[in-house]
Every structure is written in structure tokens, then in C-alpha cells.
């Protein structure tokens, strides 16, 4: 009797627990009706599933404002919404959390109207108060974040006016050509979680912050972080985008970001079905291994904005005769023409890169300029240019040798960061230069050491590096202004050393205040034209965006720029298992 009673009580308990769980599940859905003002996208898919995605290391922070590297930026992108959105596929600014925005004809006032009845991931209502609060904290005198710099114009902040529960106006001290693009980098923080806390806004939300203390407007929320292993993101039940049928996005229930540094480990895990998508970390040789593998698809999404380039040290400190060689435009063009980019692409990248002859690849369609002069491969032209510049060729038992006007054999050192791909690229450049009698010896150092030499001590001859180039001219100031710290060939000049650098300075200042896109494009085209003629940076190649993914992953449309396959993460979905 007592045993039967115990069994009955136990069964009742089990029933109660399962009912309450179902109720909780029901209420989770029921409590969050889709807002009327939700952003409807022309996509279809299926709710559910998990995406397992590798990154080469863990993020440093979960805070958008402190995210200084791609790993942290990706986590921030997945969990945070920004004032405007950047459509990475179309490469244009679009409305996201704003239902619309407009810029006054004088170009100084921008009105942002936010979608109504939205909620942060913790269920707290969102309003323009949160935006005003975030901007005020970004501008706070003690804050020291990079977004603050992009929002100061001639040292002046924007005026912030709240004109309703869901509307704000930003008043600029002067017209800013790239204002819409700059706003795509301004995150929205929840006022209710940060108000009253003493730290600077960029110091919140470190990787050990409990998940319950963070909330955002992004498609996912941080569920769990296991240091050195993985971060699990759960779908934001309050996300404000819906699909064609009115289902709330994102489709995926979870994203598990696995921190795996070793590329072999990643490859084996993808093959074993323990990873679903690899993009940034795939090696060209992996593509061949994965082709034909059952359940895995591979694709090449074309040239990325990651440019590998060579440049010469044009700082005044460089001693003759190297100074005379490097500063001669014809010498730089001859070097560019001596390099067989196709061969590098074929041998080093197995065809999975794109030879580059301009600063921007064709895939950066919004700013790429057509019809620029191209210093493409041609040994005959290279030799003609060198002869025209007063160089001559001799031959001895050691082979061909280029001799400068001063009688010195042309030899220099190519400083490169320790990176297998760059080192193989440099070896091929060395061989090509050897064919026109230039002796280039390769010196490999650790990345920070190379940067210190290039931007600090200037004790190098030439270098090869690869950098992720930005998508808007607004982000090129450090690189292109002669006073810029990243003006690789001769940084931090007090006065522009050459006329063409002075012209670039003037054009780059001009593009900052011009508002019309066509006009900005024309200005930036002239900048690209000068760079293509003068060749202070000799473009070599753009790496392709290589993607491998499980066949049941759908709606994948990798972009050529960061965050590559993850830019439309809310649309990705898994097919049902057969």
C-alpha cells in the first residue's frame, strides 16, 4: 500500500514538473508577442538547431566599445545592436533598430526614429532613453574608447536631442560625409543595467561578467562562457526582426563558439561533424581536402578586403643610395611590374586569392574605382623603367645584378612578420626581384617587432604585410594622411614630404565634409588614382573568403568583409535531419 502511494506521489511530482516546464516554455513564447513595428525580412527558414563555429582564440571582452580585435568584435556583433546597420553583402547602410532616419538638407542634423515596443534580451523595454544614455556615457570625459574618437568632429561632440520616446536628433558641429557609416559602429546599451555603476562604459561586461548581468538588442545573448573553451549564445527571445511568415528571428536556438587555435583540429572537427561552419580560418590547402567530403560544402566567396602589400621605407632617415632608389617612382613601379602575382596566387594560395593591383579589391564595390593605372606583371617593362631611371644591368658568375646610378648593386632587406603565408609570398617576391637583378634578403620578425620598426624606429628597407582594409574612406585617415600614425611608408610627417601626399591630404580632408556619395566617390577615386600612380604601397593580392560548412546549413550568403558568413546570422537555419 505504502509503496503504491509512494509511486503515485512520485508520478504526480514528475507530471507537475513536466507541466511546469511546458508552461514555462509556453510562457516564454507567449510573453513575447512579435512587436508590430518589427523589421520584416524576405527570408524563410526553420526555427531551431545549433551552429558550432570556431574562432582562433577567445574574445577579450563582451563589450562592443572595448572590442579591439575581430574575435571580440564578432561576439559584440552577435549580441549588440547599433544605431544604424551595415549590410555587409550590399555594403550599404540600412535601417535596423531604426524604422527610418533622415538627414536634414544642411547635412548637420540627423533624425533617428526607433522601432516601437522593442525589448532588450532580458525583457526590459527599449526606448530612446537608452540611446541618449549610451551616447552620453560614450562622450563622458573619463571614457577612453575608440568609438568616442569617431564621434568627435574637429574635437566637438554631437548635440543629442530626444524628441519623443522613440526619436532622437543628433546635431553635428559640421556636415560629416560618413555620418551614417559612423553610426553603424555606435552600440546601444541598456540604461537599466548600467545606470549608477561607477566604471567607464568600456569597462563593463568583461568575459567573466555573469550572463544575467548583460542584455542587448542583438540576435543572440550570452548564455555561458567557458574560459579557453567556448562561449554559448542563446537566441534573443525579444529580437526585433521577423521572416516572411512573421516568425521571429533568429532561426537558430544557439551558437556555440568554440575556441580552437590549431587549424588541423578545426579541420578534423568539421569532418567529424563537430563544427558546422569555418570561414576566416580555412587554409587554401584545406579546400582540396574538404572537396567531395560527404555532408560538407565549400565555397570561395571572392576577394576579401585583406590586402597583402609591399612598401619601401620612404622616411627621410633612410640613407643613400637606398633613399634615392626607393624614392624614385619608376623604381617602385619596376618592382611592382617584376612581381608575378598570378604565380604567388597559384603556388602559395592554390588559386584561392586574387591578384591585386589597387588598394581596394573589386569586391568593395561601393568605393572601388575602375580605370586606374595598373603596374601589372611585365619584366620587359620593369627593365625599361629601371634603365630610364638610370639603373644598369651587369652579369657575373652569381647571375644578373642591377646597379644603381651611384654604382652600388641594388640590394635591400625585406622585413616581414612571422607568418607562414607571408613568408612564402616573400620568398616568391624575392625570386621575382632576383630575375631583374635585385637582391632582396628576407628578415622575419615577430609582428609587434615589425610594427615597432615601421612606425617607431624606421630602421628597415622594405616590408610586406597584410591588413584588413576598411570599407569607408572615413576609416582611411590614419593610413592616408601624411600626419597619420599608420602612413606606412613615412608616418607622422609634420608637413607632407611630396606634392602628391599634400594632394591626398587635401582630398581626404575634403571627403570628410562632402555629403553626396557621388562626390565623395569622385574624391576617393582621385586618391586611389594618385596611389596607383605613385605606388607608395605596392598591392600584391587579396585573400579570398573561403568557407566550409555542413550541407544542412541554409541561407548562408558570405560577405567579402567582416563578419563574413556571420553577417546575416539571424537568417541561418538548419535543415531537418533526414
Q: Which is nearer to other proteins, 117 or 475 (CB)?
A: 475
Which residue in 480, 484, 496, 481 sits closest to 537, CA to CA? 480
Q: Spell out, one character per residue from 394 to 433, where the chain touches other proteins: x when CB under 8 A holds, - when not.
A: ----------------------------------------
476 binds other proteins (CB under 8 A): yes
Under rule CB under 8 A, residue 14 binds other proteins: no
Q: Which is nearer to other proteins, 483 or 554 (CB)?
A: 483
Establish if 44 lies at the interface with other proteins (CB under 8 A): no
73 near other proteins, rule: CB under 8 A: no
Residue 446 binding other proteins, by CB under 8 A: yes
In sequence order, what are the beta bridge partners of 444? 416
Among the listed residues 207, 289, 299, 529, the single contact to other proteins using CB under 8 A: 207
Stretch that binds other proteins, among 142-150, 279-287, 301-309, 330-338 (CB under 8 A): 142-150
> Is 453 one of the binding residues for other proteins (CB under 8 A)?
yes
User: Per residue, what are the HEC states of 507-556?
Assistant: HHHHHHHCCCHHHHHHHHHHHHHHHHHHCCEEEEEEEEEEEEEECCEECC
**139 scored as a contact of other proteins (CB under 8 A):** no
* Residue in 44, 162, 430, 455 binding other proteins, rule: CB under 8 A: 455
By the rule CB under 8 A, 444 interacts with other proteins: no
> Of 230, 225, 201, which is closest to residue 212 (Cα–Cα)?
225
- Give least dist CB 188 to other proteins, A: 20
Q: Which residue is it, cell 581626404? A: 508
Nearest to 511 by CA among 476, 544, 466, 467: 476
DSSP string, 46-106: ----EEEEEESS--SBS-GGG--SHHHHHHHHHH--BSSEEETTTTEEE-SSEEEEEE-TT
What cell was used for 500? 602628391
Only one of the segments 87-95, 123-131, 308-316, 475-483 lies at the binding site for other proteins (rule: CB under 8 A); that segment is: 475-483
Least gap, CB of 297 to other proteins (angstroms): 20
Q: How far apart are CA 270 and CA 429, in angstroms?
A: 34
SS (H, E, C) 350-416: CCCEEECCCCCCCCCCCCCCCCCCCCCCCHHHHHHHHHHCCCEEEEECCEEEEECCCCCECEEEEEE
Q: Which cell numbers in the block locate residue 66?
A: 572595448
**Does 228 sit near other proteins (CB under 8 A)?**
yes
The answer to whether 313 contacts other proteins (rule: CB under 8 A) is no
Return the range that interacts with other proteins (CB under 8 A); candidates 96-104, 144-152, 374-382, 401-409: 144-152
Contact 317, 457 (CB under 8 A): no
313/512 Cα distance (integer angstroms): 28
- Smallest distance, Å, CB 465 to other proteins? 8
Residues near other proteins (CB under 8 A), total: 50
In angstroms, how far is CA 458 from the centroid of its own chain? 28
Among residues 144, 324, 498, 554, the one that binds other proteins under rule CB under 8 A: 144
CB nearer to other proteins: give 18 or 457. Answer: 457
Does residue 66 touch other proteins according to CB under 8 A?
Answer: yes
Burial class from Cβ neighbours inside 10 Å (0-12, 13-18, 19+) for residue 90 reads exposed
- With CB under 8 A as the contact rule, the residue among 4, 24, 448, 494 that binds other proteins is 448
Quick check: 297 binds other proteins (CB under 8 A)?
A: no
Contact call for residue 224 and other proteins (CB under 8 A)? no
Task: Assess 50 for contact with other proteins (CB under 8 A).
Answer: no
Report the alpha-carbon distance of residue 143 to residue 100 in Å, rounded: 29
Cell of residue 192, nine digits: 537599466
Q: Tell me which residues touch other proteins (CB under 8 A).
A: 57, 60-61, 66, 68, 144, 146, 149-150, 202-203, 206-208, 227-229, 258-262, 264-265, 268-269, 271-272, 274, 445-449, 451-453, 455, 467, 469-470, 475-479, 484-486, 492
Amino acid at each position: 500500500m505504502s509503496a503504491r502511494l509512494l509511486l503515485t506521489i512520485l508520478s504526480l511530482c514528475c507530471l507537475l514538473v513536466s507541466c511546469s516546464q511546458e508552461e514555462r516554455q509556453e510562457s516564454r513564447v507567449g510573453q513575447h508577442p512579435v512587436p508590430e513595428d518589427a523589421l520584416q525580412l524576405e527570408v524563410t527558414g526553420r526555427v531551431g538547431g545549433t551552429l558550432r563555429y570556431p574562432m582562433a582564440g577567445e574574445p577579450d571582452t563582451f563589450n562592443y566599445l572595448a572590442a579591439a580585435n575581430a574575435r571580440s568584435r564578432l561576439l559584440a556583433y552577435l549580441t549588440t545592436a547599433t544605431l544604424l546597420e551595415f549590410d555587409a553583402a550590399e555594403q550599404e547602410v540600412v535601417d535596423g533598430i531604426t524604422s527610418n532616419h533622415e538627414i536634414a538638407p544642411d547635412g548637420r542634423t540627423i533624425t533617428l526614429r526607433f522601432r516601437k515596443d522593442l525589448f532588450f534580451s532580458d525583457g526590459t523595454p527599449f526606448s530612446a532613453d537608452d540611446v541618449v544614455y549610451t551616447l552620453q556615457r560614450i562622450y563622458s570625459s573619463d571614457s577612453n574608447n575608440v568609438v568616442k574618437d569617431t564621434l568627435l568632429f574637429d574635437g566637438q561632440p554631437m548635440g543629442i536631442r530626444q524628441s519623443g520616446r522613440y526619436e532622437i536628433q543628433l546635431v553635428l558641429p559640421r556636415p560629416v560625409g560618413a555620418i551614417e557609416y559612423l553610426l553603424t559602429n555606435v552600440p546601444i546599451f541598456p540604461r537599466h543595467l548600467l545606470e549608477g555603476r561607477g566604471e567607464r562604459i568600456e569597462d563593463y561586461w568583461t568575459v567573466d561578467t555573469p550572463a544575467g548581468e548583460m542584455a542587448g538588442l542583438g540576435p543572440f545573448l550570452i548564455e555561458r562562457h567557458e574560459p579557453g573553451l567556448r562561449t554559448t549564445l542563446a537566441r534573443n527571445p525579444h529580437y526585433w526582426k521577423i521572416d516572411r511568415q512573421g516568425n521571429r528571428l533568429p532561426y537558430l536556438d544557439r551558437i556555440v563558439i568554440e575556441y580552437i587555435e590549431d587549424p588541423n583540429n578545426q579541420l578534423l572537427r568539421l569532418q567529424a561533424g563537430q563544427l558546422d561552419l569555418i570561414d576566416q580560418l580555412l587554409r587554401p590547402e584545406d579546400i582540396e581536402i574538404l572537396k567531395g567530403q560527404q555532408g560538407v560544402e565549400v565555397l570561395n566567396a571572392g576577394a576579401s578586403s585583406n590586402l597583402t602589400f609591399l612598401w619601401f621605407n620612404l622616411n627621410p632617415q633612410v640613407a643613400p643610395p637606398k633613399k634615392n632608389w626607393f624614392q624614385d617612382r619608376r623604381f617602385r613601379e619596376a618592382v611592382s611590374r617584376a612581381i608575378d602575382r598570378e604565380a604567388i596566387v597559384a603556388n602559395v594560395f592554390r588559386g584561392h586569392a586574387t591578384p591585386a593591383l589597387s588598394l581596394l579589391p573589386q569586391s568593395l564595390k561601393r568605393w572601388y574605382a575602375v580605370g586606374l593605372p595598373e603596374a601589372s606583371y611585365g619584366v620587359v617593362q620593369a627593365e625599361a623603367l629601371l634603365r630610364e631611371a638610370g639603373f644598369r644591368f651587369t652579369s657575373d658568375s652569381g647571375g644578373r645584378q642591377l646597379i644603381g646610378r651611384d654604382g652600388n648593386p641594388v640590394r635591400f632587406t625585406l622585413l616581414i612578420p612571422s607568418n607562414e603565408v607571408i613568408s612564402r609570398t616573400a620568398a616568391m617576391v624575392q625570386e621575382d626581384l632576383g630575375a631583374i637583378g635585385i637582391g632582396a634578403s628576407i628578415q622575419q620578425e615577430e609582428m609587434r617587432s615589425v610594427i615597432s620598426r615601421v612606425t617607431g624606429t624606421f630602421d628597415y628597407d622594405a616590408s610586406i604585410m597584410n591588413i584588413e582594409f576598411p570599407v569607408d574612406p572615413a576609416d582611411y585617415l590614419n593610413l592616408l594622411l601624411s600626419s597619420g600614425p599608420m602612413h606606412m611608408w613615412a608616418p607622422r610627417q609634420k608637413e607632407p614630404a611630396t606634392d602628391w601626399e599634400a594632394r591626398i591630404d587635401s582630398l581626404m580632408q575634403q571627403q570628410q565634409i562632402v555629403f553626396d556619395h557621388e562626390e565623395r566617390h569622385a574624391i576617393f577615386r582621385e586618391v586611389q588614382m594618385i596611389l596607383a600612380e605613385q605606388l607608395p604601397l605596392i598591392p600584391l593580392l587579396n585573400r579570398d573568403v573561403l568557407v566550409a560548412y555542413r550541407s544542412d546549413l541554409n541561407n548562408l550568403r558570405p560577405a567579402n568583409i567582416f563578419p563574413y558568413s556571420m553577417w546575416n546570422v539571424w537568417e541561418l537555419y538548419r535543415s531537418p535531419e533526414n
